[in-house]
């Protein structure tokens, strides 16, 4: 009965200045690092997911064509594998990430449960091999890939918690609705102790 932390898509292209930058994304990278500094050793497995799109095709229609993106099903080019945009944000502490998984390689994936390791092992298989029963989720974006990952985790039978202070969304209303959707399928929406850490004497400076 192991516990995993899933850090979803804290990448340069999803933070300020990136192709699909989310407001607060850079600050979130720092907050997650504060959380990891305090709690990483409480997890049996820390997984980092990343969009890792092809740069020479439309990734199954995920990248917009000449008509431009609709920001629902089609998007500007982003997180092309091996580029700076696909790299983790530099303020995210990746030293405690045990396994990287990659999604969207030629197709429009949103959920980290569609991702695979470098050797092709699907995330659900990895978690099963490690006897994980509980998955905590943080990252970007609340109303897209965090939501999809949480719903898939619940559908796969995992106990799921999303830390609402360790996620950042594109749209505030849709992000609030996403957290409600997670609750509706039996997921937990919790808060971390990061604010307490930051407010304490000698706490981390963001």
* Residue 79 annotated as catalytic: no
Tokens at residue 28, please? Answer: 């979130």
- Selecting among 51, 103, 109, 136, the annotated active-site residue is 103
Sequence-ordered list of residues with C-beta below 8 angstroms from that of 82, at least 6 positions apart, any chain: 55
- Selecting among 9, 13, 109, 152, the annotated active-site residue is 9
* Residue 9 annotated as catalytic: yes
Cβ 191 vs Cβ 164: under 8 Å: yes
- Selecting among 30, 79, 145, 152, the annotated active-site residue is 145
Distance from C-alpha of 12 to C-alpha of 19, rounded to nearest angstrom:
8
* Residue 103 annotated as catalytic: yes
Would you name the residues annotated as active-site residues? Answer: 9, 103, 145
């Amino acid at each position: 009965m192991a516990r995993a932390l899933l850090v979803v898509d804290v990448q340069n292209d999803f933070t300020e200045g990136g192709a699909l930058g989310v407001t607060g994304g850079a600050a979130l990278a720092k907050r997650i690092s504060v959380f990891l500094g305090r709690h990483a050793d409480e997890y049996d497995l820390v997984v980092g997911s990343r969009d890792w799109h092809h740069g020479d095709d439309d990734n199954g229609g995920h990248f917009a064509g000449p008509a431009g993106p609709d920001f629902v099903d089609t998007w500007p080019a982003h997180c092309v594998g091996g580029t700076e945009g696909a790299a983790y944000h530099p303020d995210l502490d990746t030293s405690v990430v045990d396994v990287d998984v990659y999604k969207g390689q030629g197709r429009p994936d949103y959920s980290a449960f569609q991702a695979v390791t470098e050797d092709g092992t699907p995330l659900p298989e990895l978690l099963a091999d490690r006897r994980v029963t509980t998955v905590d989720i943080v990252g970007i974006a609340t109303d897209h890939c965090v939501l999809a990952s949480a719903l898939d985790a619940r559908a796969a039978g995992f106990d799921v918690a999303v830390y609402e202070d360790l996620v950042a969304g594109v749209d505030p209303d849709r992000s609030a609705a996403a957290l409600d959707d997670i609750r509706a399928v039996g997921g937990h929406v919790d808060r971390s102790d990061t604010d307490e850490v930051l407010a304490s004497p000698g706490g981390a400076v963001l």
